Amino acid sequence: MPTIAVVDYDMGNLHSACKGLEKAGAAPKITDSSLELEQADAIVLPGVGAFDPAVQHLRSRHLEAPLKRAIASGKPFLGICLGLQILFESSEEGKEPGLGIIAGTVKRFRHEPGITIPHMGWNQLELTQPHSPLWQQLPAAPWLYFVHSYYVDPTDANVRAATITHGSQTVTAAIAKENLMAVQFHPEKSSTSGLQILANFVQLVNSRPLSMIG
């Protein structure tokens, strides 16, 4: 069974992410070891909290370069919530540079009448890459669970895999570019649709040719 490394950098919901992956048929391994990231068949980067501490913790554990190498190698990679945001170049939430793997910035929702910030609860995806492996066997407009005040704004609109609308604002809810996928919502808290998304990621890992594993 392929091993999925779940990155431990003191920023969040590692065990709930692992439980979701286990239900999806994976063997997740929590780690902050660059060697174990290199040896893993796929990587999941979860996260809850603020942008600056997240990138500081990653860099203090010398994980930035191993993550970049893993993504560049073609290894399947899934970012969740804050694990999506720190892939970008910068955030309005802080001053630290992000990992810069995806061009663009992280922005705060604008205040407007009738919406709450943070955006918390269930929202419906509009799939802008409907044939992405993440969305297989999902309804046309699935409901997922969100908790966030900031959203990613990629420079290249083609990396958007899904959007949501909150008030009058339509923003990116997921990105996908080759082996790199990341979502703003919490699949592990999103009932059947969320579990299906994790199962789709596990299936993607399982379907890789043996020559590409590792």
Return the SS3 of 165: strand
Contact 78, 182 (CB under 8 A): yes
Extract long-range pairs of 93-96: CB within 8 Å, 24+ residues apart: 93/50, 93/51, 93/52, 93/149, 93/150, 94/50, 94/51, 94/52, 95/52, 96/51, 96/52, 96/55, 96/56
Helix 14-23 to helix 191-206 angle (10° resolution) is: 70
Contact 43, 60 (CB under 8 A): no
Pairing of strands 42-45, 77-80: parallel
Give phi and psi for 173, each to the nearest 5: -110, -15
Residues annotated catalytic, as ranges: 81, 186, 188
Cα separation, 189 vs 19, whole angstroms: 11
Residue type, 3: T
